[in-house]
Amino acid sequence: MKKELIEIIKEAGKILKKGFYSNKDITFKAKKDLVTEFDVAVETYLKKKFSKKFKKFNIIAEESDNANIEFNNSIIIDPIDGTTNFVNGVPHTAISVGVYKNKKPYLAVVYNPILDELYTAKIGKGAFLNGKRLKVSPEDNFQKSLLATGFPYTSGTDENDLNDVVKKIKDVLPLCQDLRRLGSAALDLCYVAKGVYEGYYEMNLKAWDVSAGILILTEAGGKISNISGEEYTLFEDKYLVATNGKIHNELVKNLNL
Ligand code: IPD
Ligand code: CA
Ligand code: CA
Ligand code: CA
């Protein structure tokens, strides 16, 4: 299944890449939440191909109505993760696809066709970038750790969420090396898998933002949890915390100051 999945996603990457260099129709789903005709075109293409090839799986996808679709055995699609980057010409944007069997991650692909970076993972078989095995950073000193985060779309409308974002930056920033906000949750997880960042956290992520990145990171030796340091549950937890494993407890502690 992995090979066929990658072939289809690489084809869909051509739609994303063409869109990246074209004018776009932008629609606002909410104050900060954009969508373009290319998000829809990539999603439509993937859904059509996956539903033909992988009949046993339900498909859950960001720009579709997912009501009453069972998650147990499913393919969870983010057609363009980092739409704000995509719209503004920041080449940090990707297609993210996670395949779940009995609610457990099975296969993952994150593909950035602009930089030609293909991240893949299969449960128990490791994680790879363009065929090269990925491994998390060995750094265990929090002060020397480069972290990443993201700002939820709700920070434009929900004062509690905005205050929480600011508080956590105030608490964590003085204690670490630095903090990045590159604008794609799927790629943020891949960057922890790659050893670029030691850790990453964000609130209000959706299943399609992280369905693939979770497996890529854990297969590279990293750790995922919720903000209490317990198992992260897709569709349920407000916060996701992802690290190289070495600084996990300290990041959890510093996010709860
Ligand atoms: C967003 C990106 C962003 C994150 C947001 C996500 P989208 O996904 O992953 O980095 O901060 O929380 O919603 O809307 O570009 O697919
Ligand atoms: Ca979106
Ligand atoms: Ca997303
Ligand atoms: Ca998206």
pLDDT tens digits, residue range 119-170?
A: 999 999 999 999 999 999 999 999 999 999 999 999 999 999 999 999 999 9
CATH of the domain at 127: 3.30.540.10
Spatial neighbors of 31 by CB under 8 A, at least 6 apart, are 153, 156, 157
Alpha helices in the chain (DSSP H): 2-20, 37-53, 83-88, 159-172, 185-194, 207-210, 213-219, 248-255
Quick one: pLDDT at residue 154? 94
Identify whether residues 183 and 109 lie together within a single domain: no
Quick one: pLDDT at residue 222? 98
**Can you give the residue range of the structural domain that contains 43?**
2-133
* Residue corresponding to tokens 């998650």: 71
- Distance from Cα 148 to the centre of ligand 4, integer Å: 19
* Residue corresponding to tokens 């890529």: 216
Identify whether residues 188 and 123 lie together within a single domain: no
Atom of ligand 1 nearest to the CA of 86: 15
Identify whether residues 245 and 202 lie together within a single domain: yes
Instruction: State mean pLDDT over 198-221.
Output: 98
Atom of ligand 1 nearest to the CA of 84: 15
Identify whether residues 8 and 92 lie together within a single domain: yes
Domain boundary among the residues 133, 154, 185 is at 133
Identify whether residues 155 and 118 lie together within a single domain: no
Identify whether residues 109 and 193 lie together within a single domain: no
What's the domain count of the chain? 2
CATH of the domain at 220: 3.40.190.80
Residues measured by CB to lie within 5 Å of ligand 2, the ion: 83
Identify whether residues 124 and 160 lie together within a single domain: no
Please state, in angstroms and rounded to a whole number, the distance separating the CA atoms of residues 41 and 192: 29
Quick one: pLDDT at residue 239? 98
Domain boundary among the residues 133, 164, 189 is at 133
Identify whether residues 20 and 114 lie together within a single domain: yes
- In a 10 Å sphere around its CB, with 0-12 CB exposed, 13-18 middle and 19+ buried, how is residue 17 labelled? middle
Contact 179, 173 (CB under 8 A): yes
Our mutation pick for probing the ligand 1 site, out of 209, 210, 211, 237, counting the most ligand atoms within 8 A of Cβ, is 209
Identify whether residues 62 and 17 lie together within a single domain: yes
62 in a labelled binding site: yes
Domain boundary among the residues 102, 133, 164 is at 133
Measured CA to CA in angstroms, residue 169 lies from 56, 151, 187 at distances of 43, 11, 20
Identify whether residues 191 and 171 lie together within a single domain: yes
Identify whether residues 231 and 158 lie together within a single domain: yes
pLDDT tens digits, residue range 84-127?
A: 999 999 999 999 999 999 999 999 999 999 999 999 999 999 99
Identify whether residues 37 and 84 lie together within a single domain: yes
Quick one: pLDDT at residue 96? 98
pLDDT tens digits, residue range 41-94?
A: 999 999 999 999 999 999 999 999 999 999 999 999 999 999 999 999 999 999
CA-proximal residue: ligand 1, atom 11 (nearest):
150
Is the beta carbon of 43 within 6 A of some atom in ligand 1?
no
pTM of structure: 0.98
